[in-house]
């Protein structure tokens, strides 16, 4: 799959005040600290300065010895980039995948989160921070941007300063602070597919020491896929968000900001149109063409994926509500010392409804796992500015409760679709009709950390920046799935996987157990880890900086909360209930340059990341059964280079281009899940963690032999494009509209990503017929 996105826009901006500042450039955008006055801001933009807080202090991005991309709020507005998913068009090494808000993954340079499996028991490797508040679940950070000052994307491990588990990077979003001068802004956007979006923001003083800001956004768009069963479009957008903040200047050296937000996304989602059919190793009478043939008169609405048609018959819903409160205190003890405290509570309420079979047949009538989360964080930071050095010390605490109460229910078409056609029971709809799984899934997640970062100016040109973080994590989980079905005598019974249990040998219950059985276990994990890094910066000449970084980072271990394989006695195998922490060794070096009076910026970065015990999605038979769950791949590597270029010859024109090459692969992963074309046949017996007996059939052989796992060593990680580019330009001119001064501007932006695989294990020619090990 390759992706190309192009965009052109002609907009008119009007304001009741004369503003001589042109729209900032794209990437990198000249963002300045909010405290600058208008004249200082203009001078900074013309000088090409970009002030960021990537290292918990304000500094020029060209002097920060890490790879960081910065996009201003004005650029986001001009481009129509209104959420994180669209940020990928500006940041080539940022990948965003979302089937729905809960099944959302963000990766940087190919790493960050396992691809293709939802599980609350593991952590994301890309941290999301909004006004210094850590958002643990990506689903709770899918809000539309409004009143954003800037977005900083930090690439590479950031564990010594940012929360926890930021082994791939961090996205640091800063919103606009309340203003002591009245200001307001309103924006309305319309587009194809009935796209409508409105944003409004107002800020001003309430007294000499109090200022407030209130903003709101509404987005609505018709769906992109038409459901012939319900006569409606699905995959729509329907969101609303409100954010408010109050700034209290207690005294000249003490500020307290209290913020709150509420966001609701309630689209008709999610379904897929028919793409194509690919043969697997299942018996011919269990392949898609045969299965559809068992239901006379049924056919998919279209075999052309570009018709964008579906016929799902179960209820669809993807209601995603989240919000929270935070309090930020900044106390300047004196000119050299500052204390910062950030306290926050956030909640997430996920209410889905799915059609798991994605057809118009009543196979799965309900697959709903609503989730509720409460998250509490507290961070203290102490900043000291000394002579030739500055120091940041901090404490971080995090606690999260997740409760999922789900249901899965099969319908009258399930027997014919899911059971072996050679079984006489496959013709009896009652066997699998109304098999119900009630799931109770719980997670209590606690993390504590102490951290520090030193920036030591050894000479006027050479700066050494070591950092350290000690982290403690504890996870307590519960997985309790109670499955009930109708036995052959017509009574409702628990479908148990334990031999000797009541109705274990009943013919109907045995068939139901092959689809899903009850399971209960309580996984636990706790561990300490130590992260550290060393950044070096050398000023080769004015506006030319060399830098190098080494980082040792960890992503905490996890627990499986989607069920685990069972042994011969039907008991869950607890060895598969936990996953080991990831250990990351990261090397990076680059050069940051500016010339032509800082009108031109050109940066180049090279990186190499090794990960031991990479947390991956597996589906193998090494425990005696085949089931998908999280486990550890022995070693993964990501390497490549990135380049950013921007030019601003005048305040009336700017252009940019960014590119990245990413080579991310499994170095050692001998028990990876088989790709679809090698799955579904007679599973060969596993003889060890990475060995099995027998010879697998050629890929896509109906009724063939399937390996319990494959050796994916040397293969690409899923979801990673080797090449990615973004580019654009903008021209503007002063003008008047309805008697008000403003500017006309025209912008063009494009992006490209090369092919990538969506399978956890892509198949290669060298593995067309994997040999036993």
- Per-residue confidence (pLDDT) for residue 724, from 0 to 100: 93
**What tokens appear for 150 in the block?**
């800037």
The partner residues of 725 in beta bridges, in order of sequence, read 659, 752
Helix (H, G, I), strand (E, B) or coil at 417: helix
- Per-residue confidence (pLDDT) for residue 8, from 0 to 100: 38
Kindly report, residue by residue over 74-92, the tens digit of the pLDDT.
777 777 776 777 777 778 8
Would you say the C-alpha torsion 416, 417, 418, 422 has a positive or negative sign? Answer: positive
Percent of the chain with pLDDT over 90: 59
- Per-residue confidence (pLDDT) for residue 619, from 0 to 100: 60
Tell whether omega for the bond before 270 is within 30 degrees of 0, i.e. cis.
Answer: yes
Residue 454 class from Cβ within 10 Å (0-12 exposed, 13-18 middle, 19+ buried)?
Answer: middle
Instruction: Kindly state whether residue 340 falls inside one of the protein's structural domains.
Output: yes
Helix (H) or strand (E) holding 43: helix 38-47
Q: Does residue 70 carry a pLDDT above 90?
A: no
Q: How many folded domains does the chain comprise?
A: 1
Angle among Cα 347, 238, 349 to the nearest 5 degrees reads 20
- Per-residue confidence (pLDDT) for residue 566, from 0 to 100: 84
- Per-residue confidence (pLDDT) for residue 49, from 0 to 100: 62
Residue 601: band (very low, low, confident or very high) from pLDDT cuts 50, 70, 90: very high
Buried b (16+ CB within 10 A) or exposed e, 732-758: beeeeeeeebbbbbebebbbbbeebbe
- With contact defined as beta carbons under 8 Å apart, do 615 and 114 qualify? yes
In this prediction, residues 311-334 reach a mean pLDDT of 95
- Per-residue confidence (pLDDT) for residue 15, from 0 to 100: 33
Tell whether omega for the bond before 359 is within 30 degrees of 0, i.e. cis.
Answer: no
Rounded to the nearest integer, the mean pLDDT of the chain is 86
Instruction: Kindly state whether residue 278 falls inside one of the protein's structural domains.
Output: no
Q: Does residue 520 carry a pLDDT above 80?
A: yes
- Per-residue confidence (pLDDT) for residue 763, from 0 to 100: 64
Q: Of 703, 620, 608, 529, nearest to 123 (Cα)?
A: 529
Beta strands 582-595; 544-555: pairing state: antiparallel
- How many of the other CB atoms lie within 10 Å of CB of 206? 13
Helix (H, G, I), strand (E, B) or coil at 363: coil
As a dihedral over the C-alpha atoms of residue 705, residue 706, residue 709, residue 714, rounded to 10 degrees, the angle is: 90
- Per-residue confidence (pLDDT) for residue 38, from 0 to 100: 37
Highest mean pLDDT among 403-412, 747-756, 760-769: 403-412
- Per-residue confidence (pLDDT) for residue 69, from 0 to 100: 84
Instruction: Kindly state whether residue 124 falls inside one of the protein's structural domains.
Output: yes
Q: Give the number of C-alpha atoms closer than 13 A to the C-alpha of residue 486, restricted to the C-beta side.
A: 15
- With contact defined as beta carbons under 8 Å apart, do 611 and 168 qualify? no
Dist. CA 74–CA 77, nearest whole Å: 5
- With contact defined as beta carbons under 8 Å apart, do 140 and 643 qualify? no
Q: Of 615, 452, 727, 653, nearest to 112 (Cα)?
A: 615
> Lowest-confidence range among 45-59, 76-90, 210-224, 514-528?
45-59
* Residue pointed to by tokens 């937000």: 261
As a dihedral over the C-alpha atoms of residue 62, residue 67, residue 73, residue 76, rounded to 10 degrees, the angle is: 130
- What's the longest Cα–Cα distance across the chain? 86
Helix (H, G, I), strand (E, B) or coil at 676: helix
Residue 401: band (very low, low, confident or very high) from pLDDT cuts 50, 70, 90: very high
Residue 181: band (very low, low, confident or very high) from pLDDT cuts 50, 70, 90: very high
Helix (H, G, I), strand (E, B) or coil at 765: helix
Kindly report, residue by residue over 6-60, the tens digit of the pLDDT.
433 333 333 333 223 333 333 333 333 333 333 344 334 434 566 666 566 677 7
- Per-residue confidence (pLDDT) for residue 66, from 0 to 100: 84
Angle among Cα 46, 47, 49 to the nearest 5 degrees reads 110
Alpha helices in 48-146 (DSSP H): 73-79, 84-87
- Tell me the residue range of the domain where 158 lies: 3-273+308-673+709-767
Kindly report, residue by residue over 681-699, the tens digit of the pLDDT.
998 988 887 889 999 999 9
Q: Does residue 547 carry a pLDDT above 90?
A: yes
Q: Does residue 5 carry a pLDDT above 70?
A: no
Dist. CA 434–CA 337, nearest whole Å: 65
Dist. CA 653–CA 46, nearest whole Å: 12
- With contact defined as beta carbons under 8 Å apart, do 555 and 527 qualify? no
Instruction: Kindly state whether residue 382 falls inside one of the protein's structural domains.
Output: yes
Length of the chain equals 773
Residue 626: band (very low, low, confident or very high) from pLDDT cuts 50, 70, 90: very low
- With contact defined as beta carbons under 8 Å apart, do 585 and 648 qualify? no
Instruction: Kindly state whether residue 367 falls inside one of the protein's structural domains.
Output: yes
CATH (domain of 418): 2.40.170.20
In degrees and rounded to multiples of 5, residue 392 shows phi and psi of -125, 125
- Per-residue confidence (pLDDT) for residue 52, from 0 to 100: 62
Beta strands 627-650; 653-668: pairing state: antiparallel
Q: Does residue 622 carry a pLDDT above 60?
A: no
Percent of the chain with pLDDT over 70: 88
Q: Of 743, 745, 688, nearest to 17 (Cα)?
A: 743
Q: Does residue 413 carry a pLDDT above 90?
A: yes
> Lowest-confidence range among 132-146, 360-374, 724-738?
132-146
Instruction: Kindly state whether residue 187 falls inside one of the protein's structural domains.
Output: yes
Q: Of 557, 527, 708, nearest to 631 (Cα)?
A: 557
Instruction: Kindly state whether residue 483 falls inside one of the protein's structural domains.
Output: yes
Dist. CA 391–CA 399, nearest whole Å: 27
């Amino acid at each position: 799959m390759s992706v190309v996105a192009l965009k052109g826009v002609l907009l008119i901006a009007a304001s009741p005040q004369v503003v001589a500042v042109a729209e900032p450039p794209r990437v990198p955008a000249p963002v300045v600290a909010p405290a600058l006055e208008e004249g200082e801001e203009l001078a900074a933009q013309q000088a090409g300065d970009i002030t960021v807080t990537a290292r918990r202090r304000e500094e020029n991005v060209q002097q920060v010895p890490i790879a960081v991309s910065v996009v201003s709020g004005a650029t986001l507005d001009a481009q129509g980039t209104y959420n994180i998913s669209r940020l990928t068009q500006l940041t080539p090494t940022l990948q965003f995948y979302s089937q729905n808000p809960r099944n959302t993954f963000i990766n940087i340079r190919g790493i960050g989160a396992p691809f293709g499996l939802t599980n609350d028991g593991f952590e994301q490797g890309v941290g999301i921070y909004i006004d210094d508040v850590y958002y643990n679940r990506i689903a709770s950070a899918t809000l539309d941007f409004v009143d954003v000052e800037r977005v900083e994307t930090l690439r590479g491990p950031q564990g010594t300063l940012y929360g926890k588990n930021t082994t791939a990077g961090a996205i640091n979003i800063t919103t606009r602070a309340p203003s002591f001068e009245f200001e307001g802004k309103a924006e309305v956007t319309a587009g194809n597919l009935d796209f409508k979006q409105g944003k409004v923001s107002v800020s001003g003083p309430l007294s000499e020491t109090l200022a407030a800001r209130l903003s709101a956004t509404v987005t609505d768009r018709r769906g992109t896929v038409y459901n012939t069963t319900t006569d409606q479009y699905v995959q729509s957008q329907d969101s609303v968000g409100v954010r408010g903040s109050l700034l209290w200047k207690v005294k000249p050296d003490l500020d307290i900001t209290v913020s709150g937000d509420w966001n609701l996304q309630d689209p008709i989602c999610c379904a897929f149109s028919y793409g194509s059919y690919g043969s697997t190793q299942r018996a011919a009478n269990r392949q898609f063409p045969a299965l559809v043939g068992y239901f006379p008169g049924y056919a998919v609405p279209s075999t052309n994926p570009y018709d964008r048609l579906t016929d799902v018959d179960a209820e669809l819903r993807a209601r995603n509500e989240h919000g929270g409160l935070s309090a930020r205190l900044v106390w300047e003890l004196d000119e050299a010392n500052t204390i910062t405290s950030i306290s926050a509570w956030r909640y997430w309420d996920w209410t889905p409804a799915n059609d798991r079979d994605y057809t118009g047949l009543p196979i799965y009538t309900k697959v709903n796992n609503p989730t509720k989360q409460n998250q509490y964080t507290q961070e203290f930071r102490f900043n000291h500015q000394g002579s030739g050095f500055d120091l940041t010390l901090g404490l971080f605490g995090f606690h999260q409760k997740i409760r999922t109460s789900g249901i899965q229910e099969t319908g009258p078409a399930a027997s014919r679709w899911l059971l072996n056609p050679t079984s006489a029971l496959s013709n009896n709809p009652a066997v699998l009709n109304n098999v119900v799984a009630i799931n109770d899934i719980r997670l209590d997640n606690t993390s504590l950390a102490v951290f520090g970062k030193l920036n030591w100016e050894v000479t006027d040109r050479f700066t050494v920046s070591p950092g350290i973080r000690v982290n403690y994590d504890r996870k307590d989980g519960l997985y309790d799935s109670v499955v009930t079905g109708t036995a052959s005598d017509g009574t409702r019974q628990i479908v148990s996987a334990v031999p000797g249990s009541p109705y274990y040998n009943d013919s109907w219950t045995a068939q139901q157990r092959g689809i899903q059985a009850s399971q209960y276990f309580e996984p636990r994990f706790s561990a300490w880890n130590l992260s550290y890094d060393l950044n070096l910066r050398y000023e080769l000449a004015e506006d030319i900086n060399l830098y190098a970084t080494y980082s040792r980072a960890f992503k905490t271990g996890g627990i499986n909360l989607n069920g685990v394989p069972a042994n011969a006695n039907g008991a869950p195998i607890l060895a598969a209930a936990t996953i080991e922490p990831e250990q990351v060794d990261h090397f990076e070096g680059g050069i940051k340059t500016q010339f032509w009076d800082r009108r031109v910026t050109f940066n180049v970065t090279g990186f190499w990341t090794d990960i031991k015990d990479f947390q991956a999605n597996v589906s193998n038979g090494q425990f005696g059964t085949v089931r998908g769950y999280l486990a550890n791949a022995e070693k993964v590597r990501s390497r490549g280079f990135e380049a950013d270029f921007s030019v601003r010859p005048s305040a009336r024109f700017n252009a940019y281009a960014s590119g990245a090459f990413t080579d991310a692969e499994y170095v050692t992963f001998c028990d990876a899940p088989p790709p679809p074309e090698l799955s579904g046949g007679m599973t060969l017996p596993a003889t060890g963690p990475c060995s099995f007996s027998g010879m697998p059939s050629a890929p896509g052989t109906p009724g063939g032999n399937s390996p319990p796992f494959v050796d994916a060593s040397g293969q690409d990680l899923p979801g990673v494009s080797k090449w990615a580019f973004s580019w654009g330009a903008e021209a503007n001119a002063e003008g008047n509209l309805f008697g008000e001064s403003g500017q006309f501007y025209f912008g063009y932006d494009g992006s490209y990503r090369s092919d990538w695989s969506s399978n956890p294990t892509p198949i290669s020619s060298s593995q067309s017929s994997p040999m036993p090990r």
